[in-house]
Structure 1
Amino acid sequence: MWLLFLSVPLLPAVAMVSHRHRVTISALCGGVLSWVLGRGRGRGQGAACARSTHAFVFSECTHGKADSVLATFDLYAETHPSLSLGPQRGQVLDKVVRRVAPRLVLELGMHCGYGSIRMLRLLPPAGRLLTVEGDPLASELGEELLLVAGFKHHQFQVLTCSSVDAIASLRPHLGSEDGTCEGLDLVLMDHDPQRYLEDLVALDAEGLLRPSGCYILLVHRDQGPGASRALMEQITARNGRYALRTEENAVMELYYCVDG
């Protein structure tokens, strides 16, 4: 009771500060909540985020219009914690997809499908996306939003499993008509950052990256400014097949090439 009594004189000041800085406070709270959800995936919070995101996007977007679905994702993220890439990282992704025009794309970490939709709408007619999501609920809801955005199953395939299991069984999905493995043109890693290096090594060891050139995008969420550089040092220390092309909005772009 005495605490309440002492705090009463401070209420006007608190109210004034809250009013003046409501945008900053709101952004800070949103960032904290996003961090909590990201750290808590697999323990219930991620599932709650997937349900809430799906319900909002499904009900508010124009079905059959990919750009409307993306805009609705962004609208949701303005006031709710979200695991979507967001427009800034999304624009980096757009630039790379337009430049590379990939035929075979692997996405590790589909979440609710935001990144998948951004890539699918820019793929060439023969392009195909393989997207991996370990959370069965997020996988199901994300796949539904891909269909809501107007894409068909022949354009994409959702693999509901861990990145480790996906990579181990990926080769049959990359085959051409003559049975050879064509290799991936583009890989987007937006799952567990602790898995980035090991999964990249596994993709290389399995011969799943196109030898003549593959672009790899690594998304860093809630990482320190030196995290991507440290990862790059670990990658280049293993062999000379990787080169850092760009780093923008916490998205690092690598280029992989064996054939020189």
Structure 2
Amino acid sequence: MVSPAIALAFIPLLLTVLIKYRYFFVLFYRAILVRIWKDCTTGLSREERAYQYVLTHCTLGDPDSILDAFDIWCSNVEFISNIGPKKGKILDRLLMEQSPLTVLELGAHCGYSTVRIARSLPLGARLYSVEMDQRNAAITEKIIRMAGFDDSTVELIVNPSDEVIPRLRSDYSLEKLDLVFMDHWKKCYLPDLQLLEDSGLLGKGSMVLADNVLFPGAPKFLRYLRKCGLYEWKIHRATLEYSRGIRDGMAELIYQGIK
């Protein structure tokens, strides 16, 4: 049995750990514990709960209203890992600067970033959004249409990214991607980037944006960027979406081609 004196000696250490990692404890509570509780008590997935909130708090046909409703829900109710408003502004700026005509999104989740990208595209541009989870894809489809975008602007593809990328030329007649946004499983960032390289869909000047490269992190992806010499790249540092005190960043890559 631990003596009271030894137990008291550990209190300063415990307090130090709690203070130092308090933001991670808050994230664990909001992202894991609340989700488990709500899943059990509502019978709905977290994404379905978010959709219900957005549906009842947004103005149909208004992308900004839909994004605002998502941001309020994710900030105050439950945590969802989408790009969020702070890093979203970086994405908005890059989209305005690049004016891409052909965009590929890997990881639609429940449609937040899909709407964010689609609303910034120039006239005649098209977004191909890939989501492997069928339940999430069904929500994304509703969110896209609620925002007022039809199939001529946004096409949702429900399949794993490693199956979709090799077929983009043959099935969707794509010759070059102007911009790729990655926000799916972080372990897929590197193999999917290499698939894009092998497919020939990245031309000189093509931009690739990859979210959450610092937290939860994509270390193999970053190591590859440092060594391959195919990209000019940098990291836009920020904090994790809908969180404070957790450092994160979005990688911006400009493809230079084989040297």
Same fold (TM over 0.5): yes
Q: Does 147-156 or 242-251 show the bigger shift?
A: 242-251
Post-superposition shift, 1:126? 1.1
**1:217 is aligned to 2:214:** no
Do residues 134 (structure 1) and 132 (structure 2) align? yes
Q: Distance in 2 between matches of 1:204 and 1:182?
A: 13
TM-score by length of 2: 0.77
TM-align CA RMSD? 2.8
1:25-36 equivalences in 2 (<5 Å): 31-33=27-29, 35-36=31-32
Partner of 2:102: 104
Aligned to 1:197: 190
Q: With structure 1 as the length reference, what TM-score do the two structures score?
A: 0.77
Shift of residue 246 of structure 1?
3.9
- Once the two structures are superposed, the pairs formed by residues 63-82 of structure 1 within 5 Å of their partners are 63-79=60-76, 80-82=78-80
After superposition, the Cα gap between the structure-2 partners of 1:222 and 1:242, relative to the gap in structure 1 and judged at 3 Å, is closer
Q: CA separation in 2, counterparts of 1:155 and 1:222?
A: 31
Residue 171 of structure 1 deviates from its aligned partner by: 1.4
1:252 maps to 2:251: yes
After TM superposition, what 4+ stretches of structure 1 lie above 6 angstroms from structure 2? none
**1:133-189 CA-partner distances (Å, limit 9, x unpaired):** 1110100111111110111111011111111111122113553xxxxx431011111
- 1:30 Cα deviation from its structure 2 partner: 5.2
Q: Percent identity?
A: 30
1:55: how far off?
A: 0.8
User: Secondary structure of 1:130's partner?
Assistant: strand
Aligned-partner SS, 1:251: strand
Q: 1:161 is matched by which residue type in structure 2?
A: N
Matched to 1:247, the amino acid is H
Please tell me whether the aligned partners of residues 197 and 235 of structure 1 are also in contact (alpha carbons under 8 angstroms).
no
Q: Partner of 2:224 in structure 1?
A: 234
Gaps of 5+ in 1: 1-23, 176-180
Letter in 2 for 1:48: S
| 1:168 corresponds to which of 166, 169, 174 | 166
- Asked if structure 1 preserves the Cα contact closer than 8 Å seen for 2:130 and 2:161, the reply is yes
Give the 3-state SS of the residue equivalent to 1:254 in structure 2.
strand
Q: Distance in 2 between matches of 1:166 and 1:33?
A: 35
Alpha-carbon distance between aligned partners in 2 of 1:73 and 1:221, rounded to the nearest angstrom: 22
Between the aligned partners of 1:167 and 1:34, the Cα distance in structure 2 is 34
Residue identity matched to 1:254: L
SS in 2 for 1:204: helix
Shift of 1:36: 3.4
Aligned equivalents of 2:131, 2:185: Cα separation in 1: 11
Contact 2:129 2:154 in 1 (8 A): yes
Residue in structure 2 matching 1:52, options 49, 52, 56:
49
Q: Number of aligned residue pairs: give it.
A: 223
